A and B are shown apart, each in its own frame.
Chain A
């Protein structure tokens, strides 16, 4: 957990692998520095990130395997116990084991995250595809709509959607997904425009392939890369947005251990029990850092971090 959040000089979480730096001139340090050794060892940061990701997936899918205690029932003899060997993350004011709650919360928070990114990618992708492929007035109209939506900060847009939909994990996920639509639409459109002018698309058209065939067979597969890479980046942003909304109290009802609401519950015990706010937040940080790192590894252009 500590590896991605504390960039130490020996193994910086951000250290790009050798292929990463190859095509980003000007960003890398000179090749004959001591850091060359770090970079030659492929993927110290990346393997840590993948490790975190696999662990999180395990938490989300089989929470009982990774936690020794029940996340909802507390032991009144064990109230506000600091982190130790018995309770890794300590216990809360009702004697519930915080580690178990974080592990069980992973499935709620990460499910909402997947739903949000999936919704944003599908809806935004479809919009961008139509916009880029249709061109002309449809394109102009849709892109102006995207401009307007992007004038409103994502979190506020999500909150407006929640006002209409009501509270709950799924509603939070939908709200976050809606705030991602514009970004996905923009990237998909740009890709479709790029691909549509390629010679192989021209050839397919000239060869008599119908527009639907061109779209599905040629444009879609060839414009998917950057969209998927954006999805990976947005995954980290979605974790942040979902937990922020859950922190504000718009997520699942109280006993459910969503990551954001865990931090919110810990607020009342900040003076005596630092672990209640600090540790769930560190898990969020580790999650976001590792998804960013992974998304960078899968990005064909190896854009700058973040």
Chain B
């Protein structure tokens, strides 16, 4: 949670990489600079995962042969041969440059366990996960947004207190447990939506998407209700009310248009988080996808595949944030290029 709060605080100031001087020019230059920054982050993520997975005292080949703590049956000669075949006998700098070069051409190596190219394995697993994450994101926005609007709109203090108490409970529940309890109640007791067994039909998507969406919905509810309260306390909503706009109109049109901005930033931050949540959700519901691939890759200590998944997560994060950063100026005149808030540069 802290992680998100700080990430949000960070993302509301001008972009992180490079010098974000005020009023540097046209929209094209802004977009180009953001694209360049996104590429820099991806390169850095690649370098960091390389350092973590290949440079630490661990040896990829013995990791692969050990396969989760088992004894290795390979002779030292066979190990040396494998090392040579995968290029692990080269000095780290050469390994890094070779792999980076290949990565730039879209080759992230081959899975050590299946022998399938990593990019192909990810591409194959992406559609069901994208479906799941997309459905979860929509659910989270509707659910979290609904709770936030209702919690700030209601005049019943009891209901307001109840709705305000929901988000902390939402983030306190382990995703794997929520999924299992939902299956238990909905599928086994009510006999609805029997979702286990890897089916990808619409009915089979309901429970996994709901499970994956809950923590995100709780965050959205939290940040959006904060945003709405802040806007409702500002003079412009009072003015709108005084000019005769209905309470609902002030709430949904005037307060929401400003109060939604921090939430939009949050959505950019949590989109990558959905991919991590998919690891748990896909395991619980036995669905195919990126999450299943990740869990098995970690179990088998399949380094190239794990690196591929981490890079994919970084790509998703960067793209989502890029999209949000490009959308934000359209929705908020205050952050339009050349009109940045003066307080924005403060740490």
> Interface with A: B199-207, B306-314, B331-339, which one?
B306-314
Chain A interface mostly: helix
Q: A193 to chain B: which residues have CB within 8 Å?
A: 347
Known: A27-B164, A288-B173. 4 other contacts (CB 8 A): A15-B161, A25-B233, A154-B273, A243-B176
Is residue A152 contacting chain B, with contact meaning CB distance below 8 A? yes
Q: B58 to chain A: which residues have CB within 8 Å?
A: 164-165
**What is the size, in residues, of chain A's interface with B at 8 Å between Cβ atoms?**
78
Cβ B1 vs Cβ A248 within 8 A: no
List the A residue with the shortest CB-CB distance to B177. Answer: A281
- 8 Å CB contact of B298 from A159, A244, A270: A159
Cβ B171 vs Cβ A244 within 8 A: no
Is residue A208 contacting chain B, with contact meaning CB distance below 8 A? no
- 8 Å CB contact of B2 from A187, A190, A243: A187
Q: How far is the CA of A230 from the CA of B2 in the complex (A)?
A: 7
Cβ A155 vs Cβ B7 within 8 A: no
Interface residues of B in 152-201 (CB under 8 A from A): 157-158, 160-162, 164-169, 171-177, 180-181, 183-184, 188
Is residue B235 contacting chain A, with contact meaning CB distance below 8 A? no
Cβ B272 vs Cβ A151 within 8 A: yes
Chain B interface mostly: helix
Cβ B347 vs Cβ A190 within 8 A: yes
Is residue B3 contacting chain A, with contact meaning CB distance below 8 A? yes
- What are 29 sample pairs from A and B whose C-beta atoms fall under 8 A apart? A33-B157, A145-B44, A145-B48, A148-B44, A150-B3, A150-B7, A152-B272, A152-B314, A153-B276, A153-B317, A155-B279, A156-B275, A156-B310, A159-B279, A163-B297, A163-B306, A164-B52, A164-B56, A186-B10, A230-B2, A249-B299, A260-B176, A264-B176, A274-B184, A277-B184, A278-B184, A285-B173, A288-B171, A288-B173
Interface string of B49-86 (1 = CB under 8 A from A): 10011001010000100001100000000000000000
Q: How far is the CA of A29 from the CA of B176 in the complex (A)?
A: 35
Task: Tell me the B residues contacting A by CB distance below 8 Å.
Answer: 1-3, 5-7, 10, 16-17, 41, 44-45, 48-49, 52-53, 56, 58, 63, 68-69, 157-158, 160-162, 164-169, 171-177, 180-181, 183-184, 188, 218-219, 222, 226, 229-230, 232-233, 272-273, 275-277, 279-280, 283, 294-295, 297-299, 301-303, 306-307, 309-310, 313-314, 317-318, 347
